[in-house]
Amino acid sequence: MWQYIAEQQIELPEIYFAHEREVFARGGMWLAPGEWGGPRAEETVQLRMVRYRTVGDMSCTGAVDSDAADIAAVIEEITASRITERGASRADDKLSEAAMEDRKREGYF
């Protein structure tokens, strides 16, 4: 997807824009199903219109409800938000203060 910023062409990954995706709720976030650990038996996968406000590994990055499908809509959404781009969607930050360090010890990185 090409979006134009300040008269320059910058290719932005589609993941930054809202799409209907399979997700499940955990810890106040929408996470993508995958081999890494989700969903659990009590978690239901559903189709929702979401976007990723920050891009990271799907095991530690959550999506947010959104209909922002282009740059103008993303900017409008960010301007109105009271939650930081990273603060809304980094699962490790919601698990514990040491979650990222725990992942390193477990060999994730």
Predicted confidence band at 19 (pLDDT cuts at 50, 70, 90)? Answer: very high
The H-or-E segment that residue 3 falls in is strand 2-5
Q: Provide the residue type at 66 as one letter.
A: S
Q: Which residues contact 3 (CB under 8 A, 6 or more apart)?
A: 10, 12, 70, 71
Rounded Cα–Cα distance for residues 89 and 85 (Å): 7
pLDDT score of 37 more than 80: no
Are the beta carbons of 55 and 16 closer than 8 angstroms?
Answer: yes
| Mode of pairing for the β-strands spanning 46-51 and 64-65 | antiparallel
Predicted confidence band at 93 (pLDDT cuts at 50, 70, 90)? Answer: low
Average pLDDT score, the chain: 77
Residue 6 lies in a domain: no
Domain that holds residue 50: 12-105
Residue 1 lies in a domain: no
Q: Domain total for the chain? A: 1
Beta-bridged to residue 65, according to DSSP, are: 50
Residue 2 lies in a domain: no
Looking at residue 76, its pLDDT comes to 92
Looking at residue 73, its pLDDT comes to 93
Residue 3 lies in a domain: no
The pLDDT tens digits of the residues spanning 67-84 come to 999 988 988 988 887 766
